Structure 1
Amino acid sequence: MEIIIALIPFVCIFVFLFIFKQTSLRSGILSYIATLFIILVYPKYHIVFEEIIHASFKGFLISFIAAYVLFFGMLFFHLINNIGGIQTIADFISSATNDHLLQVILLVIGLSPLLESTSGFGIAFMITAPILIALGFPPIKAASIGLVSLLAVPWGALSTGTVIGAQIGNIDLKEMGIGTAIISIPIFIYFLIIAIYLAGGREAVKRRWKETLVVSIAFSLTMILFNIFVSVELAGVLSSLVSSGIGLLIIKMKGPSRFKSANKTIEETYTPIVTDKSVSIVKVMSPYLFLTISIFITRLVPAIKDFLESNFVIDLPAFSFSLALFYSPGFWLFITCLYTIFIFKISKNIIWNSLKTTVKQWVPFVISTTTFVAISQLMTASNMTFVIANAAGLTFGFFYLYISPFIGGIGGFLTGSSTGSNAMFIQLQVQTASKTGLPLNLVSSIQNASSAHATMACPSRVALAATLCKIESEENSLLKKMSLIVLGAILLIILMTTILMFVEGYTY
């Protein structure tokens, strides 16, 4: 009976999302209320009011780490988009080559990871899919490829999901980032192959398998290296820039650039408030480079790093919470927004519209993420997580290693957010790993990777894809397709996990 009661918060989230078709925001709030009800009514999990407040507020503090970064990441995106910067990038890709497969490679493992790594929130898809339609792809293909392009979600919004996971699970951020990158090696290759297959079938894969492998392996290896030697937060940005450069080099080696006009213009599919066709690609990319260099310096110059980590710090020992405001990527995204406003001389009207759009998208995320993290904290404080972990450990033992990816995947599938999934499940995963004697860092990396890569099949995200690409009648078909693709990714994670457990020298 105790295990059934302890599982109710997770069941509530599933029921509210899929049975009652509620949003993540409402599902989170209602599930939080259900969790409170259990804690107040069921004696085994009862905790005093002060502990409830403490756990809930700690949930807010942890979610604030992500919210701080995400707000300025989203604002940065809207500023760039509203001055026609995204259109400039799209035009550049279109003019670089008329080979659809090479365009897909550039978008899927270049532009999309760059946008996702700086902005998060699945914004990369909302840009990639319309660009694909503008380049001449049928809407169903554009939607599918656009969703698959969300392969850098573990490093989305400068790795906020991974940062939250490390914070909640009490895992070293660098080790978690490296572990996630290693586990994701076959996933990156798999997703790019899938994107090429969706674009042109088996013949396309045969025709471009060399380029696909070169770019995806380069993306994978640089992702690992940047996590190790630079920072987890910057790894996605830097890897996407490297893979974009390699993709453009391949295009140049294939022959001179060819210019092609698509059947539809970018404006027909995604219209910024103001379009400035005179904006150069170099100028558009300069804010991304400014952001990268700024964070790069703060991570690699010891004097600056020590100063930022020890000054302007929110420190609340009672909640085991600390946030260095100026060291956080959120602050440097804010500075990048100011830099963007200055160099593009953005008008007050565009700034105001960008702020309004950002707040409208940001507030629901903050509330829903806070409720998910608070539920996780309440379950831990009331011993529910311990009961579930203990039961899972006794039931599965070592084989929990093969259950863990499915738990993470379910979290990503349900919430459409690696942050939300980690908030819900990473404490459970870590505690179960502790009970079964499995490496904690490995299991936390499995949770992080599986939850992030499963977000592309989230029903709400698929529904958005169908609406954005005007294929509402094919939503169910798209959901089935994406679910099968994600299942393939989960199986690859299981395979990679098995290899890592038995490779000599790979220790956690």
Structure 2
Amino acid sequence: MAGLYALPILAVVAALASGRVGLQTAAGAGLALTVALAPLARTGDGDFAGFLVEQAVNGAWLAWHAIAVILAGLLFHNVAKRTAPDLFDPGGVRAQLNYRQLFAVCFLLGPFFEAATGFGVGLIIVIPFLLRMGLDGVTAVVFGLYSQILVPWGAMAVGSTVGAGLAGLGTQEIGLYSAYLTAPLLLAYLAVFWWLAGRAGHAPGLAQRIDDVVWLAALAGAIVLVNRYVALEAGALLSCGALLAVRHLRDQGLRAGSSDSMRAALPYAALTLAVLLTRTIGPLETALKGLGNYAPTADVPPFEPFYHVSFLILLVACANAAAARFSAMEWATIARAIWTSGRAPVLATLIFVLMGQITAASGMAAEIMRALIGAVGAGAVLASPVIAALMGLLTGSNVAANAIAMPVQTSLAAQAGLPITWVAGLQNVAGSNFTLISPIRIAMGAALVGEGGREGEIFRRAMPIAGAALAVFLLAALALLLA
């Protein structure tokens, strides 16, 4: 029966791998198969219709935590794009490549913007900077993919929040273990970065390499500390933001000093400050959490409307728009842009989370893992990062990757006697990082540089980045197996 229960996941994988089916269609097919098979696996009392309604409510509630951030993030992005257009299209003549700027753009600037808004916005912002450094289009996209290396905290950690809910963990737990796994991952990414820079004719010397390692060690340490003492959603935003400020003072390299760049950075600084204050001032945090929070059942986390990060994003976006005195026509344009770019990820997020919720609650995930462990024993954990990576690559979304695979991974942890925190963290980080080479991101990058039709070349040149990441994940899984 386990093979039958795996059919919805395999159907989604096959549909997306074919390249002929869109994300929403694949998700819908997966959900339909899940609903059809769930009665066979379910052992609980009560009628199936009642069970299905309950899980639909719980799944939709979990999805809403993500959807709220998606919509608020799109509003924030579209407002920022109109108040600081120079940030999104730096323009100007091409300059000589500066290695220090290249490092800062790839490891700090891109991940910062991805953390603030998500959904590939980091890639959209950094590619103009990379082109202006003198890189050709394809090379700029490959380096631009580094903007996606902290996707567990992208869009204010929306996918990680969903993953935590499905794994039955607190957001701080999944954030902290994801941070532990990200530390060695950053070093692997750096090794490939040096190789790519060398191929582009800008190999760094020994002193510069030591400098790079120090900065990445600081980034890894900052992410761990923020997840430990502040909040999951602030992980990359605060870490990258603080290091960007220090880097700016040292190098004066990221379009420094102009009033225009200061104005462009103001909304992001305000958002960073708002997250920091609401997550570190105890009385303020308590007051906001207790204001209007609600959960439809005891099995799902409450939605705290005035503490949830979507409220902070919305607040800063509206303040930015008010300061710019947007007209009704501008608001209408923004609304259309949000509808156009948001409806697909919102619908896919809802469907995938529903699929994951029903898979877990019906017992299908547990049955799949029971069969896998029966076949290969505890060594099944070595398949964990491969499953996660495949989901991230095919869906291009860490929300979808966690929604599909997290129930299976947590069942693996339970049945193999492995710590669920590490297994869930591995799923979260591997699934998130493999969105970097998803067809969605590759196609977006090619379109941004006017190189449609060269997606295959971009994918091949980006494979060393993915290979280094997979090696780290497999070593982490092996360490779990041997521990």
TM-score using structure 1 length? 0.87
> Which residue identity lines up with residue 334 of structure 1 in the other structure?
L
State the match for 2:248 in structure 1. Answer: 248
Structure 1 residues 45-444: aligned runs within 5 Å: 48-85=48-85, 87=87, 90=90, 99-201=97-199, 204-207=202-205, 208-251=208-251, 280-317=260-297, 319-444=299-424
State the alpha-carbon separation in 1 of the partners of residues 330 and 186 from structure 2: 36
Structure 1 residue 249, shift from structure 2 partner: 4.1
Q: Helix, strand or coil for the counterpart of 2:295?
A: strand
Contact 1:405 1:446 in 2 (8 A): yes
Pick which of 463-472 and 326-335 moved more.
463-472
- Cα 1:474–1:106, aligned 2, differ >3 Å: closer, same or farther? same
The 1:478–1:202 alpha-carbon spacing in structure 2 relative to 1, beyond 3 Å, is closer
Check 1:500–1:20 CA distance in 2 against 1; reply closer, same or farther (3 A cut).
Answer: closer
Q: CA deviation at 1:86?
A: 5.0
Distance 2:295 2:87 in 1: 42
Q: Distance in 2 between matches of 1:258 and 1:49?
A: 57
Deviation of 1:500 after TM superposition, in Å, equals 7.3
CA separation of 1:231/1:486 partners in 2, compared to 1, >3 Å: closer, same or farther?
same
Per-residue CA distance 1:230-250 (angstroms, 9 max, x = gap): 111111111111232343344
Q: Return the alpha-carbon distance in structure 2 between the equivalents of residues 320 and 326 of structure 1.
A: 18
Question: Which amino acid counterpart does residue 56 of structure 1 have in structure 2?
Answer: A
State whether residues 405 and 494 of structure 1, in contact with CA within 8 Å, keep that contact through their aligned partners in structure 2: yes
What's 1:268 paired with?
Answer: none
Given that residues 193 and 212 in structure 1 are in contact (C-alpha distance below 8 angstroms), is that contact kept between their aligned partners in structure 2? no
How far is the alpha carbon of 1:226 from its aligned partner? 1.0
| In 1: Cα distance, 2:194 partner to 2:85 partner | 26
The alpha-carbon deviation at position 442 of structure 1 amounts to 0.5
Q: In structure 2, do the counterparts of structure 1 residues 210 and 355 end up closer, same or farther at CA, with 3 Å as the change threshold?
A: farther
Taking structure 1 as reference, are residues 129 and 437 closer, same or farther at Cα in structure 2, changes over 3 Å only?
same
Confirm or deny: 8 A CA contact 1:151 1:453 kept in the other structure: yes
Bigger CA drift: 416-425 or 299-308?
299-308
Task: Report how many residues are paired.
Answer: 478
* Distance change in 2, residues 1:447/1:248 (3 Å): same
The residue aligned with 1:263 is: none
> In 2, are the aligned partners of 1:88 and 1:284 still within 8 Å (CA)?
no
Deviation at 1:63, TM superposition (A): 0.9
Q: Answer yes or no: is the 8 Å Cα contact 2:160–2:171 preserved in 1.
A: yes
2:74, 2:23 → 1: CA distance?
A: 19
CA distance in 1, matches of 2:284, 2:306: 11
Letter in 2 for 1:22: V
**C-alpha distance in 2 between matches for 1:132 and 1:30:** 39
Deviates more, 1:145-154 or 1:185-194: 185-194
**1:158–1:329 Cα contact (<8 Å) kept:** yes
1:29 is aligned to 2:28: yes
How far did 1:13 drift?
A: 0.4
State the Cα distance separating 1:163 from its structure 2 match.
0.8
Q: Does 1:490 align with 2:458?
A: no
Q: 2:210, 2:297 → 1: CA distance? A: 53
Specify the SS of the correspondent of 2:149: coil
The question of whether the paired residues in 1 share the 8 Å contact of 2:166 and 2:403 is answered with yes
**Partner SS, residue 294 of structure 2:** strand
Equivalent position SS for 2:135: coil
Task: Report the identity percentage.
Answer: 21
Cα-to-partner distance string for 1:131-171 (whole Å, 9 max, x where unaligned): 31233210010111111221110001111111111111101
Task: Sort the Cα spacing of 1:220 and 1:44 in 2 relative to 1 into closer, same or farther, 3 A.
Answer: closer
Letter in 1 for 2:371: A
In 1, the alpha carbon distance for the partners of 2:482 and 2:365 equals: 29
Structure 2: give runs of 5+ residues left out of the alignment: none
Counterpart-to-counterpart distance in 2, 1:399 and 1:180? 22
The structure-2 alpha-carbon separation of the partners of 1:120 and 1:3, relative to structure 1 and needing over 3 Å to count, comes to same
What is the distance in 1 between the residues matched to 2:268 and 2:329? 23
Query: Which residue of structure 2 lines up, in the alignment, with residue 271 of structure 1?
Result: none
Give the root-mean-square deviation of aligned CA atoms: 2.7
Residue in 1 that maps onto 2:8: 9
Contact 1:105 1:247 in 2 (8 A): no
Shift of 1:501: 7.7
Pair 1:39–1:436, CA change in 2 (3 A): closer
Deviation at 1:402, TM superposition (A): 2.2
2:88–2:124 CA contact under 8 A, matched in 1? no
Determine helix, strand or coil for the equivalent of 1:449: helix
Structure 2 CA distance for partners of 1:348 and 1:195, relative to 1, 3 Å: farther
Q: 1:9 to 1:483 in 2, by over 3 A?
A: farther
- How far apart, in 1, do the equivalents of 2:290 and 2:146 lie? 40
What is the rounded CA distance, in whole Å, between the counterparts of 1:179 and 1:310 in structure 2? Answer: 28
Distance 1:464 1:117 in 2: 18
Conserved? CA contact 2:359–2:407, under 8 Å: no
1:342 CA displacement: 2.6
Partners of 1:54 and 1:319 within 8 A in 2? no
SS of 1:492's equivalent in the other structure is helix
Rounded Cα–Cα distance in structure 2 between residues aligned with 1:440 and 1:240: 28
Amino acid at match of 2:270: F
Change beyond 3 A, Cα 1:307–1:479 = same
Distance verdict in 2 for CA 1:289–1:161, change over 3 Å = same
| Residue identity matched to 1:82 | R
In structure 2, do the counterparts of structure 1 residues 306 and 129 end up closer, same or farther at CA, with 3 Å as the change threshold? same
Q: State how far apart, in whole Å, the 1-side matches of 2:58 and 2:161 are.
A: 15
Q: Distance in 1 between matches of 2:255 and 2:165?
A: 48
Whether the 8 Å CA contact 1:298–1:305 is kept in 2: the answer is yes
Residue 242 of structure 1 aligns with an amino acid whose one-letter code is A
Amino acid at match of 1:130: P
- Residue 314 of structure 1 and its aligned partner are, at CA, apart by 2.0
C-alpha contact 1:109 1:244 (8 A) present in aligned 2: no
Counterpart of 1:468 in structure 2 is 448
> Compared with structure 1, are the counterparts of its residues 289 and 89 closer, same or farther at alpha carbon in structure 2 (3 Å cutoff)?
farther
Look up the match of 2:426.
446
Q: 1:158 aligns to what SS in structure 2?
A: coil
C-alpha contact (below 8 Å) 1:98/1:259 kept by paired residues: no
Alpha-carbon distance between aligned partners in 1 of 2:255 and 2:174, rounded to the nearest angstrom: 43
Q: Is the 8 A contact 1:125 1:146 kept in 2?
A: yes
SS of match in other structure, 1:121: coil
Whole-angstrom CA distance in 1 between matches of 2:254 and 2:144: 24
What's the CA shift string for 1:171-223, capped at 9, x where partnerless?
12112111111101122233244344334428634323133212222111111
